[in-house]
Amino acid sequence: MKEKKYKITMNEKQMQLMSEALEFHSRFCAGQLDHFPPALQKYMWNSKEFQYRDSRYLDLLYELKRIIWDLEPNASHGIGWEEIPEMNLGYEMYKMIEYYKVNRRIKDGENLDYNVHSSQPIKYTHEPLIKIEEIK
């Protein structure tokens, strides 16, 4: 049976949100609970005092990490960990969006040759990489 394919059209703001959601998904599945999307960070971080708004924040996250993954506070599973394949698929999708955005900026004349996203992502799954095309 032939695999179905889908086309999704989104604007730049929607693509940015999709990238942030995929990054969060991948990090959360790996046990990196202290990395939240920008939309949530402003509610958690007191930028004037350079600390979390609630001192219990990290303790609660570390306890959750211990319960779910049996990991120590600063530990996490890496990308490529095979126990949660959706983590790796989400990571590949996130990296392809960032790869597209950086290379579009390079084509527009910005000097980003050494950006972490300027190379095509490493494959961790057997799924095809997503394709992104700008609609004119």
Q: Residues of 16-47 as b/e, b for ≥16 C-beta within 10 angstroms?
A: eeebbebbbbbbbbbbbbbebeeeeeeeeeee
Predicted structure pTM score: 0.87
> For residue 86, what are the CA distances in angstroms to 23, 46, 52, 90?
12, 33, 30, 6
Cα dihedral value 62, 125, 102, 36, nearest 10: -20
**Segments making up each domain of the chain, as ranges:** 12-95
Tell me which amino acid residue 49 is.
E
Question: Which pLDDT tens digit goes with each residue over 60-71?
Answer: 999 999 999 999
Question: Which pLDDT tens digit goes with each residue over 35-83?
Answer: 888 888 888 877 787 787 887 888 999 999 999 999 998 899 999 999 9
